[in-house]
């Protein structure tokens, strides 16, 4: 948005950092995006990247997730394994 109104990458980075703090994109990324936009880029679409690994929804995986979400259930399961 700021690039469209001719704000420099330093201004854009400072604005992003003031809002996002350490989660803001790097200064070099903002410079790259700004340059790309001024060269006529209209959509941000990078090179294809590998996607996240696919996890099969098995009953074992679902049970494992429910144990993470419910610490008491997790303790009960460990207690039953110990005897």
pLDDT 10s digits, 51-67 = 766 667 777 777 776 66
Domain map of the chain by residue range? 3-38, 57-83
9-15: long-range contacts, CB 8 A cutoff, minimum separation 24: 9/33, 9/34, 9/35
Which residues have C-beta within 8 Å of that of residue 4, sequence separation ≥ 6?
37
Q: Are the beta carbons of 31 and 9 closer than 8 angstroms?
A: yes
Predicted confidence at residue 66, as pLDDT, reads: 66
Q: Are the beta carbons of 61 and 55 closer than 8 angstroms?
A: yes
Summarize the confidence of residues 29-34 as an average pLDDT: 88
Predicted confidence at residue 28, as pLDDT, reads: 93
Check: pTM over 0.85? Answer yes or no: no
Largest CA distance in the chain: 69
Predicted confidence at residue 26, as pLDDT, reads: 92
Higher per-residue pLDDT: 54 or 71 = 71
pLDDT at 20 over 60: yes
């Amino acid at each position: 948005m700021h690039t469209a109104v001719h704000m420099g990458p330093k201004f854009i980075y400072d604005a992003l950092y003031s809002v996002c703090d350490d989660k803001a994109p790097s200064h070099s990324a903002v410079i790259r995006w700004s340059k790309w936009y001024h060269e006529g880029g209209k959509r941000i679409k990078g090179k294809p990247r590998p996607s996240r690994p696919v996890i099969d929804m098995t009953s074992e995986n679902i049970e494992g997730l429910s144990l993470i979400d419910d610490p008491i259930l997790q303790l009960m399961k460990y207690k039953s394994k110990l005897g």
